[in-house]
């Protein structure tokens, strides 16, 4: 793991955002794996600024997002699709036909998972996958478990995740299920960039980096990825 520690989330946004923009400039038709949540927002803001300044174009870029809630309309204000439109896609020249998302309302989650894996493979696989980490060590919605997950699947969210994310749901109860890329799918990405900011992530970061590789801390699997870059602020790195 290539661990990089920064003062604050603004510095990380600039550094991680630059990494993505440089990559897109090198490979304009690349495949990006994207994440939602509070963590990637400074990175997305930096990318949008670079686009607005004419420094990078996303017109041939393809994207796949990590996860989506079940039982929530795709266009609901809390869907992850809406999050991506608002926080990134609407600010770029990205073609929405090139945006890949798991369908959280798919009648047959297994068929949906197979479709997603085939779609990613047909585009050549994910070049760089952006990740956050949950307070419980989850990546995407792969919660602590007895085994590492494989490809995409439907998952029941844990109490820790529901507690962390329910602050965003003011009109309806937060969904209890989600569709997520599995650990196996994430590990196929050629490069992984994980960002963790804030003291609430310090325990999970310590377990990911210094602990054993165990499905009880799903992010610990990244110790086995050959090109994983970890961006931390000082608070998230405070227990290392």
What residues act catalytically?
67, 136, 138, 143
Both structure tokens of 41: 């927002």
Q: Point out which span in 8-16, 98-106, 128-136, 206-214 binds ligand PGA (CB under 6 A).
A: 128-136
Instruction: By CB under 6 A, name the one of 21, 120, 133, 236 that touches ligand PGA.
Output: 133
Going by C-alpha positions, the residue among 165, 97, 100 that lies closest to residue 129 is: 100
Q: Which of residues 28-57 bind ligand PGA (CB under 6 A)?
A: 37-39
Which phi and psi (to 5°) does residue 239 adopt? -100, 5
Q: Residue 173: exposed, middle, or buried by beta-carbon count in 10 A (0-12, 13-18, 19+)?
A: exposed
Closer to ligand PGA by CB, 89 or 141: give it. 141
- Residue 137 binds to ligand PGA (criterion: CB under 6 A): no
Give, for 44, the enclosing helix (H) or strand (E). helix 41-52
- Residues in the interface with ligand PGA (CB under 6 A) total 6
The least CB distance from residue 29 to ligand PGA, in Å, is 28
CB atoms within 10 A of CB 88: 22
Q: What is the DSSP letter of 142?
A: B
Q: Which of residues 158-177 bind ligand PGA (CB under 6 A)?
A: none
Q: Which residue is nearest to ligand PGA (CB)?
A: 37
**Interface contacts to ligand PGA, rule CB under 6 A:** 37-39, 132-134
């Amino acid at each position: 793991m290539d661990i990089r520690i920064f003062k604050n989330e603004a510095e990380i946004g600039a550094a991680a955002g630059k990494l993505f923009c440089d990559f897109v400039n090198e490979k304009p038709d690349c495949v990006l794996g994207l994440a939602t949540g509070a963590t990637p927002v400074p990175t997305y803001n930096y990318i949008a600024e670079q686009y607005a300044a004419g420094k990078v174009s996303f017109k041939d870029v393809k994207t796949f997002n990590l996860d989506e809630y079940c039982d929530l309309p795709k266009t609901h204000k809390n869907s992850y699709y809406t999050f991506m439109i608002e926080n990134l896609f609407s600010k770029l020249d990205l073609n929405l036909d090139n945006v890949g998302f798991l369908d959280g309302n798919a009648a047959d989650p297994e068929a949906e998972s197979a479709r997603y894996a085939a779609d990613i493979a047909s585009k050549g696989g994910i070049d760089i996958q952006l990740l956050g980490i949950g307070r419980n060590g989850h990546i995407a919605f792969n919660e602590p478990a007895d085994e590492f997950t494989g490809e995409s699947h439907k998952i029941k969210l844990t109490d820790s995740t529901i507690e962390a994310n329910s602050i965003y749901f003011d009109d309806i109860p937060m969904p209890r299920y989600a569709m997520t890329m599995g650990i196996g799918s994430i590990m196929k990405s050629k490069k992984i960039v994980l960002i963790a900011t804030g003291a609430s992530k310090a325990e999970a970061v310590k377990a990911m980096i210094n602990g054993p590789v165990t499905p009880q801390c799903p992010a610990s699997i990244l110790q086995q990825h050959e090109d994983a870059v970890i961006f931390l602020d000082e608070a998230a790195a405070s227990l290392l």
